[in-house]
Amino acid sequence: MSASRLQEEIKKKEPFASAEQEATLNLLRTSDQLHNRFGRLFRKYGLTSSQYNVLRILRGEGKALPSLEIAERMIQVVPAITGLIDRLEKQELVERRRCNDDRRVVFVEITEKGMTLLSEMDQPVSDTHVQLMGHLSKAELQELSRLLEKARMSLAPGKEKEA
Amino acid sequence: MSASRLQEEIKKKEPFASAEQEATLNLLRTSDQLHNRFGRLFRKYGLTSSQYNVLRILRGEGKALPSLEIAERMIQVVPAITGLIDRLEKQELVERRRCNDDRRVVFVEITEKGMTLLSEMDQPVSDTHVQLMGHLSKAELQELSRLLEKARMSLAPGKEKEA
DNA sequence: ATGTATTAGATGACATGTAAATTAAGTGGA
DNA sequence: TCCACTTAATTTACATGTCATCTAATACAT
């Protein structure tokens, strides 16, 4: 049996302890590389990956969202959102608005400037998606999505194993 | 056609622009969640994911490695390695040694203390791998690894598209 | 040998991710 | 009414990841 491609890539001398471990490391490595690649694209427009993500969520929603809603959709811890919104606001890509009904809540909304920036990025982003994953067939892409969704089933919130 | 699971998870209102995009976002999201989960496990032992990674690489190699070698295997940028090694050295889990042949090179080696810590973590880490991915069949895990490796083919260094 | 290019690392500035603690506001019950 | 509890967001402290820049050491060509 020849060594796996991943094993060669990271120059690992021993084979993987399990298929589970190999799949997980493959996943983390592929994701890192994709993240890097998109990060470089976004930087050309003055954004980081997280900032782009927030703008996409806000555009997709079409209206203002509470900070916590945004954090939830990004799998991120709450404290990180504050600074993220701060920087987007400084660039005038989003606006904060205190909610009147519940003054604890801060609504965040994308601005015209933010929408314009996203529009400029749409084509390059779309092109990059195809460039990076287009060599997989539609059937392979669907199967990949299916397997990833299945993988996430054990990761749902609340499924944490207690020590 | 019903909306995809990912589309529901992130409450996206429009369907994905392409199968490429959906697969990529699935990948990034799954990876984030796995990363979070392992991060929490490692933290119980006083390590971050990156620190654990360095120790695993050094144990796998069995001997000292130059800093750049470590960075390369981790997909990471060079500057990050310095601080990473700094903190591991402070915890006495690794040691730095200047190379005599080429005094620019710094070799990093795992210590006894580092090896002992890794040993304690082996079983919990292995258990977590199975816990998180064990609900996929062996065939599915292999197919997942195959698709991820194929996905990385477009990400090889030097394949960057020029602007 | 000498000046240029290259290579290995380190440093500084900044954005991010994490946990723990804090502030402010809303809810409920004695 | 008043206190305990919860919730939304922020703040603080620290590890990380990124880039640009710097230093030291080596390699190479003339």
Per residue in A108-134, pLDDT (tens digit) is 999 999 999 999 999 999 999 999 999
Interface of B with A in 111-130 (CB under 8 A): 126, 129-130
* Residues of A in Cβ contact (< 8 Å) with B6: 145, 149
- With CA atoms as reference, report the closest residue to B132 among A141, A158, A160, A146: A160
For residue B13, the model assigns a pLDDT of 66
Q: Which nucleotide is nearest to B48 (CA to C1')?
A: D15
For residue A161, the model assigns a pLDDT of 39
Tokens at residue B122, please? 């082996």
Helix, strand, or coil (residue B2): coil
Interface of B with A in 57-96 (CB under 8 A): 57, 60-62, 73, 75
For residue B162, the model assigns a pLDDT of 38
DSSP assignment of B13-55 equals SSPPS-HHHHHHHHHHHHHHHHHHHHHHHHHTTT--HHHHHHH
Predicted confidence band of residue A151 (pLDDT cuts 50, 70, 90): very high
Per residue in A48-85, pLDDT (tens digit) is 999 999 999 999 999 999 999 999 888 788 888 999 99
Q: Hey, are the CB atoms on B33 and A153 less than 8 Å from each other?
A: no
B62-73 in b/e burial notation, b at 16+ Cβ within 10 A? eebbebebbbbb
Per residue in B38-91, pLDDT (tens digit) is 999 999 999 999 999 999 999 999 999 999 999 989 888 888 899 999 999 999
At residue B158, does pLDDT exceed 70? no
* Contact call for residues B135 and A150 (beta carbons, < 8 A): yes
Residues with CB under 7 A from strand D: A 35-36, 39-40, 43, 66-69, 78-79, 81-83, 85, 96, 102, 104-107; B 48-51, 76-80, 83-84, 87, 101-104
* Contact call for residues A58 and B10 (beta carbons, < 8 A): no
**Number of neighbours of residue B5 by Cβ within 10 angstroms:** 15
Helix, strand, or coil (residue A121): helix
Q: Note whether B21 contacts A: Cβ–Cβ < 8 A.
A: yes
Q: What is the mean pLDDT of chain B?
A: 89
Candidate from A29, A126, A151 with C-beta closest to B17: A126
Q: Hey, are the CB atoms on A19 and B145 less than 8 Å from each other?
A: yes
At residue A91, does pLDDT exceed 90? yes
Calculate what percentage of chain B has a pLDDT beyond 70: 90
Q: Note whether A157 contacts B: Cβ–Cβ < 8 A.
A: no
Q: Domains in chain B, please, with CATH?
A: 17-122 (1.10.10.10)
